[in-house]
Homo-oligomer: A and B are copies of this chain.
Amino acid sequence: MSTQTVSAQSTSAQSGSLERLALNRWTFRTTPLQEFLEATVSRGIGSVGLWRQDIEEVGLEALRRRVDDAGLRVSSLCRGGFLTASAEADRAAALDDNRRAIDETAGLGAPTLVMVVGGVDRADKDIVGARARVTEAVAQLAPYAEERGVTLCLEPLHPMFAADRAVLSTLDQALDMAEAAGSPAAGVVVDTYHVWWDPYLERAIQRAADSGRLFGYQVCDWNLPLAAEPLHSRGYMGDGFIDFPSITRMIKDAGYTGDIEVEIFNEDVWATPAEESARIIAERYEQLVLPYA
């Protein structure tokens, strides 16, 4: 892996049209970190969404330095969460880990920590109980985040992940949780893959914005047929069934002006050279998202 510093000067002059575009690191999980940062900068893309795995790999300070040196911002850190455990020891460990993730978010200068809350315990199959435990944990963590100047992005995952990944399934439910936390640091991220189907999407996006809790917007498409690992059915915008102009208009009309992060988990994308993948993403973003944002 190249460790040379990426120069902000290498930014191509694209009249700043990609300034709000963020590339999520996991979209390029097969690309070495430095190459990923270079591909981002060379297209004039404004920021990157990072993962805790990146911190593990190079260390927090070195990671921040590399991003700063490249002239990039960090749009978000993935991920906290996994707060559904019922055993006291597991619960305490999860809270500790989330406090570390919050510290790391602040340490990277990222505005928000994305939270995937965890699934149902097969032993009790009690989804209502699991949800109550998440609500309680978020209320414990939000003041900690608030003190450190970062927010928590509760991420509703598609209901097909309710059993094994996130009992948080809709934006309205996430907003119920965020409001129950009683802290302005608790909010939501709208990820098109997870919420595009929601019949009450527009109302929920407006609700999030009205309560000052719309902290992120992530885009990728819903591809069919589903991949063997359904999490990997995320596609380039335009390849699937999602109406990006309409959803992006909802986001804009609600008053969102933040980063727009492209997060794609897809075996074909991971097999594509980073430069080419970044080119396709920028092109689709300029066609399907930017004009409506």
Show the binding face of A for B, using Cβ within 8 Å: 120, 122, 125-128, 131, 158-160, 162-164, 167, 169-170, 172-173, 176, 196-200, 222, 224, 226, 228, 230, 240-243, 246
Contacts and interface: CB of A to CB of B under 8 A. Distances in A.
A226 B126 contact: no
Given A159-B160, A159-B197, A197-B159, A126 B243 contact: yes
B228 A127 contact: no
Given A120-B241, A125-B241, A199 B224 contact: no
Contacts of A198: 159, 169
Contacts of A127: 196-197, 241, 243
28 contacts: A120-B241, A125-B241, A125-B242, A125-B243, A126-B243, A126-B246, A127-B196, A127-B241, A127-B243, A128-B243, A131-B199, A158-B159, A158-B160, A160-B160, A160-B226, A160-B230, A162-B196, A162-B197, A163-B197, A163-B224, A164-B224, A170-B199, A173-B199, A176-B199, A226-B226, A226-B230, A228-B228, A230-B230
Nearest to A124: B243
